[in-house]
């Protein structure tokens, strides 16, 4: 973790890029006349997943990328693996 | 056919006025008949960057309101006779610019010039939307930095919705001009790379203008950098960008990677 932080401190541009991609996905919905489409999608996706498993809100990312001819919707859901669930000590 | 080009950005201070002067001069250097129009009412600077600040008599508002003829307000450049300037008013408010008045002035300019280059004020308010209103082509000036990229994205949205072309269901041709770029810092990961900005904004690249003392020197003496120092890196980058706007194929061998990107994006 500290090594990762060290790398990150030296190269902040990838962080900038990632933050922009997420932010602009939201803002494009607003400008394009569909009030926060990405936010709506994210809420509904969260609701569907919550029926079947427990996920952290922050671990669901929805990203819309605008292209010249097609746009893409990227859904990234991080789910807990059974191992990471804290079990009582034997 | 005359083309109306808007130089816009959303964010202030990224290099719109500098780029308007340099692209205008460069297109005139290529033999095109060019007028640069300052839409930054109340904060005019294009006259200063072009070295014409002491020659301003009438301005855009005078022409829009019918107090002066277009020919009285146009200032012909002393170095390039194919380059003219239509200055903004320094004292009057932009509320004096009516939609109909602007439409009339633009259509008169279309009859006289090959290129009408509009220097937009910063922001996304009426001043900026008026400047882009009649555009056929837009140059979106962006610095490799988060707030500039975000604002450019906003402006791209406006170009696709608030322009005359957009309202007719047509498209304004959009180009990215990345300015104040420092390749060394980008390579070190301290600054967004051209690839990052291109991928995020996904409009074709017109050129990359390096961060350069030559640009500042040129505005200090009141000459577009393409005239003051055409062989500087910034001067050459603006000249190449102008040739590309003009539809000439420009391939610089050491930058081939960059241009193949430009072309694949066009084709996409
Ligand atoms: N490539 C460059 N290298 C170094 N300095 C630059 C470069 N481009 C622009 N500048 C400087 O940045 C400052 C702002 O430029 P400019 O006035 O063209 O921006 P602008 O977008 O028109 O600003 P505004 O939004 O206030 O109208 C000026 O001092 C200019 O000299
Ligand atoms: Mg300006």
Average pLDDT on B134-150 reads 97
Q: How far is the CA of B19 from the centre of ligand 2 (A)?
A: 9
The predicted-structure confidence for A30-69, as pLDDT tens digits, reads as follows: 555 565 677 788 888 889 988 988 888 888 888 777 666 6
Cα angle B190, B192, B194 (rounded to 5 degrees) comes to 135
A50 touching B (Cβ < 8 Å)? no
B31 lines ligand 1 (CB under 6 A): no
B74 lines ligand 1 (CB under 6 A): no
Whole-prediction pTM? 0.81
User: Could you tell me which residue, B255 or B206, shows the higher pLDDT?
Assistant: B206
Q: Say how far apart CA B46 and CA B53 lie, in whole Å.
A: 8
Q: What chain B residue is nearest to A21 in terms of C-alpha separation?
A: B200
Query: Please, which pLDDT band fits residue B251 given cuts at 50, 70 and 90?
Result: low
Res B266 pLDDT > 50? no
Query: Which residue range(s) make up the domain with A57?
Result: 18-79
Average pLDDT on B74-93 reads 94
Residue at A1 is within a domain: no
Q: Say how far apart CA B216 and CA B224 lie, in whole Å.
A: 10
DSSP H helical ranges for chain B: 16-29, 46-49, 60-64, 70-73, 99-112, 126-132, 146-159, 164-167, 183-187, 194-201, 213-221, 225-228, 233-245, 256-267
Which of B150, B191, B265 has its CB closest to that of A20?
Answer: B150
Mean pLDDT, chain B, whole residue set = 91
What's the CATH architecture for B3-246? 3-Layer(aba) Sandwich (3.40)
Average pLDDT on A3-14 reads 66
Which ligand lies nearest the alpha carbon of B15? 1
Q: Radius of gyration (Cα) for chain B, nearest Å?
A: 17
Cα angle B79, B209, B190 (rounded to 5 degrees) comes to 155
Residue at A24 is within a domain: yes
Please tell me the least confidently modeled range out of A61-65, B61-65, B158-162: A61-65
Residue at A3 is within a domain: no
User: Could you tell me which residue, A33 or A77, shows the higher pLDDT?
Assistant: A77
Q: Which of residues 140-159 of B touch A (CB under 8 A)?
A: 145-146, 149-150, 153-154, 157-158
Q: Residue A49: give its domain's CATH number.
A: 3.30.1070.10
Res B131 pLDDT > 90? yes
Tokens 């008599």 belong to B57
DSSP H helical ranges for chain A: 2-10, 13-31, 37-50
* Closest atom of ligand 1 to CA, residue B20: 18
Give me the number of domains chain A comprises.
Answer: 1
């Amino acid at each position: 973790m500290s090594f990762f932080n060290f790398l990150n401190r030296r190269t902040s541009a990838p962080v900038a890029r990632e933050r922009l991609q997420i932010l602009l996905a939201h803002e494009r919905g607003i400008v394009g006349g569909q009030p926060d489409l990405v936010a709506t999608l994210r809420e509904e996706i969260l609701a569907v997943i919550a029926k079947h498993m427990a996920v952290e809100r922050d671990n669901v990312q929805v990203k819309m990328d605008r292209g010249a001819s097609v746009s893409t919707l990227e859904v990234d859901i991080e789910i807990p693996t059974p191992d990471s669930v804290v079990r009582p000590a034997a | 056919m005359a083309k109306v080009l808007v130089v816009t950005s959303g964010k202030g201070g990224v290099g719109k006025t500098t780029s308007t002067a340099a692209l205008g001069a460069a297109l005139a250097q290529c033999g095109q008949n060019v007028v640069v129009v300052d839409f930054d009412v109340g904060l005019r600077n294009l006259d200063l960057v072009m070295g014409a600040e002491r020659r301003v008599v009438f301005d855009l508002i005078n022409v829009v309101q019918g107090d002066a003829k277009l020919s009285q307000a146009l200032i012909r450049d002393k170095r390039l006779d194919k380059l003219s300037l239509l200055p903004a008013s320094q004292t009057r408010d932009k509320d004096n610019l009516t939609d109909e008045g602007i439409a009339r002035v633009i259509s008169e300019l279309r009859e006289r010039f090959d290129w009408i280059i509009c220097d937009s004020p910063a922001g996304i308010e009426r001043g900026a939307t008026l400047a882009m209103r009649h555009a056929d082509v837009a140059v979106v000036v962006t610095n490799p930095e988060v707030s500039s990229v975000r604002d450019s994205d906003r402006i791209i949205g406006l170009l696709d919705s608030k322009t005359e072309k957009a309202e007719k269901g047509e498209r304004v041709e959009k180009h990215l001009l990345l300015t104040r770029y420092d390749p060394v810092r980008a390579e070190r990961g301290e600054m967004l790379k051209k690839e990052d900005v291109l991928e995020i904004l996904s409009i074709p690249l017109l050129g990359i203008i390096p961060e350069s003392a030559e640009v500042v020197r040129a505005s200090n003496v009141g000459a577009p950098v393409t005239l003051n120092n055409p062989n500087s890196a910034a001067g050459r980058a603006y000249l190449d960008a102008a040739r590309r706007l003009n539809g000439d194929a420009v391939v610089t061998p050491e930058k081939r990677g960059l241009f193949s990107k430009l072309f694949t994006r066009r084709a996409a």
